[in-house]
Amino acid sequence: MRNLRNLMTGMIFLVAGPATGAGVYEDMIHAVNNDDTQAVVRLLQRGMDVNTVDPKGESLLMLAARQGQPDMVKAILSARPRINTRNALGETALMLAAFNGHTEAVRLILAQNAEFNHPGWNPLIYAATRNRMDVARILIARGAEVNGQAENGTTALMMAAREGHLSMVLLLLEHGAEINYKTPSGHTALGVARAQGRREIIDTLTRAGAVE
């Protein structure tokens, strides 16, 4: 009887033990990518490390933020992941959510005190690049630095001008974007708009006082 009890105890331990191994990791990635929130919750409850990253440095939260499904983001956030982890390209989960225009994911991640005014490429620049107006408004309302600069000096206004996003240009100017800021290499918002042939942007910036 004692040997049977010991055997049963060992079997319970094997079933309820931490979720580890390549197979479990693949199951988790599959669950996140297929919006299977219940499977993600089960794996996290079994001990799957919420801060696990793939070969590109992408965490579970980053994968969920890129997909933008609120319930999935909530499930992963409930396991208290490292919010500001960066992937191989230097992107955070908040940046990925901003780039893809997932407003609810942006709100959820910001609620966990995610960084948004960090040096270099930031969520507002990412939002401006893709004309994610709602995301930009959320970030600005939270205190995002409108004139924050990427490593090469690029600003949100410059990216909006380059991509031809007039509504974003107007929003950024309304909130204090420096219209004549020049990067160390000599680029301006007006200059990049001219290089891309963005006539409407060129006219708007010129009327607002932009010079090269």
At residue 11, the pLDDT reads 32
Q: What is the pLDDT of residues 51-87, one digit of tens each?
A: 988 888 899 999 999 999 999 999 999 999 999 999 9
Q: Which CATH architecture has domain 117-212?
A: Alpha Horseshoe (1.25)
Distance CA 106, CA 116 (A): 11
Q: What global pTM score does this model have?
A: 0.87
Which pLDDT tens digit goes with each residue over 193-212?
A: 999 999 999 999 999 999 97
Q: What is the pLDDT of residue 23?
A: 79
Same fold, 1-115 and 117-212: yes
Task: Label residues 183-206 b or e (16+ Cβ within 10 Å = b).
Answer: beeebbbbbbbbeeebeebbebbe
The CATH number fitting domain 1-115, selected from 1.25.40.20, 3.30.70.420, 3.30.420.40, 3.20.20.140 = 1.25.40.20
